């Protein structure tokens, strides 16, 4: 019975030790809860609104065409709220955000920044509108070389630059994307393409340059809205046609940096006399199909599958753990500091001792599993042959536990179990050695229990006995192992078990005896008073550590009262 109990405890300990994973899960839940709390504070939202957002994030992260770590989506939401303060914008576009992250492999924060820029700079805020924008940029990136991921990382720069033209909506995104695609053909990187486009638009917004271009027949202002420029793609076409692609003439308006945005367009115009590539990029579709297809493909890789499992696990653990965690923390915080310190002290010491017993049981199972089965069978037979079976009724454990549990195990094993089960034990080869290796951890477990109970109740005598037994057992086991390793037949493990048993009994007896001597030291205080209640005489005998015996003669007067 004790062995099975130790097995159960050992399994729980193993679960906790390997449950550094469990500790990691708790930290993950706490970190996610913290993020959501601060997100609610920043966006000025209630707990219910944040809970709704959280569920939306979890649901999106588990979708078969997304399968993401929820933290990636939250990173995007954080960035949107940081740049716009508009949590509704983020909440309505959670699925779009997830699809964009999965389809491009971009970081959540970059996608969030791009979504915020599209909303602020171009006025694209609805879920349908943003879905079209993302799909368009993906299709343009496939045709050209400036991908949606590039837009996400460089987006804050290029959207700010293009927004200076005053143009808005999906058409503005289309024009900006086309210029980036053709611009990247004339430079080496996405960052250089973004820098070149910034320089080009800066030139178009320069007052002196505008006069020069207008003087040469280039129309800049949109006739439908005098507050904005015409599409930059149309302006560029007119400039290239007016100069016949002559770089020398173009350099009179644009500096070297801005000219780099035109290199790809100029090269094609010189070869073909037209703008086929620019027109093709401008005509890319934006129905959302490509975004969905790319995201679905990405989820079929191993990382996508694992991310889906991770999202499911985080959702499950958060929903199951966050509430109880708060209750536990609140309960712990309500405990008096001194009492909490005592509980921790007991838990640490008890845990160390219990851990030792569990380890002993594991060793016994590892090396003597078959023997344990035979012995258990013998003990079962012994128990069944006892009529009646002795029972100890225990109330208020551990405060009123009668005697020592370790002592009870010892008496049962010696007085009943071994005798009644001797016939069955004899069938097991090497029964003496094996019985010894089983008895040691069983008795150790009893002493561990005694020690823990004594600490809880303040029973010094019982604590001393248990401590002595465990200390003696440890020393005896070490000595027995050393002796057994050189003595034929006995062996190291059996020697350790025998030495441990001897040390355990000897240590327990020594601890109990020592404490008994301390407790036997009593201080007798004899006080006599007269009939008027005054102290007449006081005498003392001996000295005490464990307690004081009081014998008081109160006299007739006080006795009557």
Domain ranges of the chain: 25-122+291-323, 126-283, 337-520, 522-560
pLDDT tens readout for residues 43-102: 888 888 988 998 999 999 989 999 898 999 999 999 999 999 999 999 999 999 999 999
Tokens of 172: 């503005």
Tokens of 165: 């033209």
pLDDT at 57: 92
Contacts 24+ apart (CB under 8 A), 161-164: 161/197, 161/198, 161/201, 161/202, 162/121, 162/197, 162/201, 162/232, 163/121, 163/122, 164/201, 164/205
Give me the mean pLDDT over the 318-336 stretch. 69
pLDDT tens readout for residues 351-372: 666 666 666 666 666 655 544 4
Distances (CA, A) of 96 to 21, 128, 157, 557: 32, 9, 22, 95
pLDDT at 435: 55
Top mean-pLDDT range of 218-222, 342-346, 388-392, 423-427: 218-222
pLDDT tens readout for residues 199-217: 999 999 999 999 999 999 9
Instruction: Give the DSSP per-residue string, 194-251.
Output: HHHHHHHHHHHT-HHHHHHHHHTT---EETTEEEEEPPHHHHHHHHHHHHTT-HHHHT
156 with 79: CB under 8 angstroms? no
pLDDT at 336: 75
Count of C-beta atoms within a 10 Å radius of residue 455:
21
Listed in sequence order, the residues at least 6 apart from 213 whose beta carbon sits closer than 8 Å to its beta carbon are 204, 220, 239, 253
Give me the mean pLDDT over the 145-150 stretch. 90
pLDDT band at 109 (very low <50, low <70, confident <90, very high): very high
pLDDT at 431: 52
Give me the mean pLDDT over the 267-285 stretch. 94
Distance of CA 107 to the CA centre of its chain: 21
Tokens of 171: 């058409």
Distances (CA, A) of 36 to 21, 41, 183, 272, 308: 22, 9, 41, 56, 21
Bridge partners (DSSP) of residue 527 are 538, 552
pLDDT at 438: 60
Q: DSSP letter at 44? A: T
Among candidate residues 91, 116, 64, 33, the one with its CA nearest the CA of residue 292: 64
Q: Are strands 535-541 and 221-222 parallel, antiparallel or unpaired?
A: unpaired
Q: Round to whole Å and give the CA distance between 27 and 238.
A: 60
Is pTM beyond 0.75? Reply is no
Q: Round to whole Å and give the CA distance between 7 and 10.
A: 5
Alpha-helical runs (H) found in 94-230: 94-104, 108-122, 127-143, 148-163, 169-185, 190-204, 207-215
Top mean-pLDDT range of 178-182, 383-387, 413-417, 554-558: 178-182
Listed in sequence order, the residues at least 6 apart from 40 whose beta carbon sits closer than 8 Å to its beta carbon are 46, 47, 49, 50
pLDDT band at 447 (very low <50, low <70, confident <90, very high): low
Q: Round to whole Å and give the CA distance between 106 and 92.
A: 20
pLDDT at 458: 63
Listed in sequence order, the residues at least 6 apart from 5 whose beta carbon sits closer than 8 Å to its beta carbon are 445
Orientation of helix 47-62 relative to helix 70-84, angle to 10°: 130
pLDDT at 214: 94
Q: Round to whole Å and give the CA distance between 103 and 295.
A: 4
pLDDT tens readout for residues 282-317: 999 999 999 999 998 888 777 666 776 777 777 777
Q: Round to whole Å and give the CA distance between 265 and 277.
A: 8
- Counting Cβ atoms within 10 Å, is residue 344 exposed (0-12), middle (13-18) or buried (19+)? exposed
Least confident of 152-156, 291-295, 313-317, 327-331: 327-331
């Amino acid at each position: 019975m004790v062995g099975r109990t130790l097995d159960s405890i050992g399994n729980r300990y193993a679960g906790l030790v390997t449950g550094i994973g469990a500790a990691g899960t708790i930290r993950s839940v706490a970190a996610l809860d913290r993020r959501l709390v601060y997100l609610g504070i920043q966006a000025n939202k209630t707990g219910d609104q944040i809970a709704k957002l959280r569920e939306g994030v979890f649901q999106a992260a588990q979708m078969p065409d997304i399968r993401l770590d929820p933290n990636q989506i939250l990173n995007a939401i954080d960035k949107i709220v940081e740049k716009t303060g508009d949590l509704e914008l983020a909440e309505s576009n959670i699925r779009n955000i997830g699809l964009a992250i999965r389809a491009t492999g971009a970081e959540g924060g970059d996608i969030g920044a791009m979504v915020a820029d599209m909303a602020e700079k171009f006025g694209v805020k609805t879920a349908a509108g943003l879905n079209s924008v993302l799909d368009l940029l993906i299709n343009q990136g496939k045709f050209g070389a400036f991908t949606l991921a590039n837009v996400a990382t460089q987006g804050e720069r290029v959207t700010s630059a293009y927004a200076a033209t005053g143009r808005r909506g999906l058409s503005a995104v289309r024009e900006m994307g086309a210029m980036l695609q053709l611009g990247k053909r004339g430079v080496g990187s996405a960052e250089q393409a973004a820098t070149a486009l910034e320089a080009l638009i800066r030139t178009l917004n320069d007052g002196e340059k505008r006069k020069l271009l207008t003087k040469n027949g280039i129309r800049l202002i949109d006739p439908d809205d005098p507050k904005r420029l015409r599409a930059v793609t149309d302006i560029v076409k007119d400039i290239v046609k007016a100069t016949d692609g002559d770089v020398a003439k173009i350099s009179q308006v644009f500096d070297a940096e801005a000219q780099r945005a035109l290199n790809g367009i100029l090269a094609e115009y010189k070869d073909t006399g037209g703008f086929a590539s620019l027109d093709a990029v401008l005509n890319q579709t934006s129905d959302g199909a490509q975004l969905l297809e790319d995201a679905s493909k990405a989820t079929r890789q191993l990382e996508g599958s694992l991310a889906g499992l991770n999202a499911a696990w985080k959702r499950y653990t958060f929903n199951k753990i966050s509430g109880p965690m708060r209750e536990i923390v609140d309960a712990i915080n309500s405990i008096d500091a001194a009492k909490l310190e005592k509980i921790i002290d007991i838990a640490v010491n008890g845990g160390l001792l219990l851990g030792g017993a569990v380890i002993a049981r594991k060793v016994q199972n590892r090396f003597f599993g078959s023997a344990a089965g035979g012995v258990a069978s013998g003990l079962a037979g012994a128990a069944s042959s006892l009529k009646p079976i002795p029972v100890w009724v225990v109330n208020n454990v551990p405060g009123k536990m009668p005697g020592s549990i370790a002592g009870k195990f010892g008496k049962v094993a010696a007085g009943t179990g071994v005798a009644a089960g001797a016939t069955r034990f004899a069938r097991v080869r090497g029964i003496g050695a094996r019985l010894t290796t089983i008895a040691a951890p069983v008795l150790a477990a009893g002493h561990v229990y005694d020690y823990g109970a004594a600490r809880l109740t303040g029973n010094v005598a019982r604590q001393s006995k248990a401590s002595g037994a465990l200390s003696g057992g440890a020393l005896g086991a070490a000595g027995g192992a050393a002796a057994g390793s050189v003595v034929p037949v006995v062996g190291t493990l059996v020697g350790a078990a025998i030495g441990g048993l001897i040390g355990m009994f000897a240590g327990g007896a020594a601890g109990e005896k020592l404490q008994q001597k301390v407790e036997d030291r009593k201080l007798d205080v004899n006080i006599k008073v007269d009939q008027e209640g005054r102290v007449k005489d006081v005498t003392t005998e001996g000295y005490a550590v464990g307690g004081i015996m009081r014998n008081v003669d109160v006299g007739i007067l006080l006795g009557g009262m």
